[in-house]
Amino acid sequence: MAAAKIAPSMLSSDFSNLATEAQRMLDCGADWLHMDIMCSHFVPNLTIGAPVIESLRKHTKAYLDCHLMVTNPLDYVEPFGKAGASGFTFHIEAARENWNELIQKIKAKGMKPGVSLKPGTPIEEVYPLVEGENHVDLVLVMTVEPGFGGQKFMPEMMDKVRKLRQKYPSLDIEVDGGLGPSTIDAAASAGANCIVAGSSVFGAPEPAQVISLMRNRVEGVKAAW
């Protein structure tokens, strides 16, 4: 059964002290570090690229869960592989024509492939990517419109998570956007095991408490999935 993984979103960290912030999150019990890679053609924002991943990699052995909100993910496979990314999650909306090639290349570079979908994209679109020999290891269900931290969780996205969990009992299912102590139960009971959280973790007086609360809620309900 899929284990709980709590992934603080470094988008909410102090980017000028990234290595220190990463270590602080690991000390607080984070399983993964979620890295939001955005280009302004795919979302109305611009964040970090492979050079930042490469710099951070020199300071940590942590699993770097890279979420690529970009229009041309194929162009980034090689640089992110070299930079030391662990997971490479692309958006289906940007890869409808070439997801098969993309998955192969991500694996060839030693990264774990994942696919994400925006709130308006039906869950059925990712089924072919989860099935078959050349499949993704993770599906990231966006629970806000991608682009910014600090937005409100969309509970209606839990239907997608429930459908996925029913079909794929051991798949890593990640949720991203508006997750925190007040929304974790909805996500966990629907079947999400990988939890991305930016503002609720970085904004908390005790991030370790928020991380352990979320892990406990996932572990507590997963027998009922």
Establish if 67 lies at the interface with ligand DX5 (CB under 6 A).
yes
Give the per-residue SS3 of 159-215. Answer: HHHHHHHHHCCCCEEEEECCCCCCCHHHHHHHCCCEEEECHHHHCCCCHHHHHHHHH
Closer to Zn ion at the Cβ: 21 or 36?
Answer: 36
Active site residue 36: yes
Contact status: 65 vs Zn ion (CB under 5 A): no
21 binds Zn ion (CB under 5 A): no
DSSP category for residue 131:
S
The residue within the footprint of ligand DX5, chosen from 73, 84, 149, 191 (CB under 6 A), is 149
Return the range that interacts with ligand DX5 (CB under 6 A); candidates 23-31, 56-64, 129-137, 144-152.
144-152
Which strands form 194-197's sheet, in the order they lie side by side? 5-8, 194-197, 172-176, 138-142, 112-117, 87-91, 63-69, 32-38
Q: Does 119 bind ligand DX5 (CB under 6 A)?
A: no
Print the binding letters for residues 168-187 with Zn ion: x by CB under 5 A, - otherwise: --------x-----------
Count the Cβ atoms, other than its own, within 10 Å of residue 93. Answer: 16
Alpha-carbon span 137 to 113, nearest angstrom? 6
Instruction: Name the residue with the smallest CB distance to ligand DX5.
Output: 198
- CA nearest to 31, candidates 205, 196, 213, 181: 196
Q: Which of 199, 208, 212, 225 binds ligand DX5 (CB under 6 A)?
A: 199
Q: Residue 34 interacts with ligand DX5 (CB under 6 A)?
A: yes
Classified as helix, coil or strand, 224 is helix
CA distance 176 to 82: 26
Q: Which stretch binds ligand DX5 (CB under 6 A): 147-155, 157-165, 181-189, 209-217?
A: 147-155
Residue among 31, 65, 172, 176 flagged as catalytic: 176
Residue 73 interacts with ligand DX5 (CB under 6 A): yes or no: no
Q: Read off the DSSP letter of residue 151.
A: P
Site for Zn ion, rule CB under 5 A: 36, 67, 176
Site for ligand DX5, rule CB under 6 A: 9, 11-12, 34, 36, 67, 144, 146-151, 176-179, 196-200
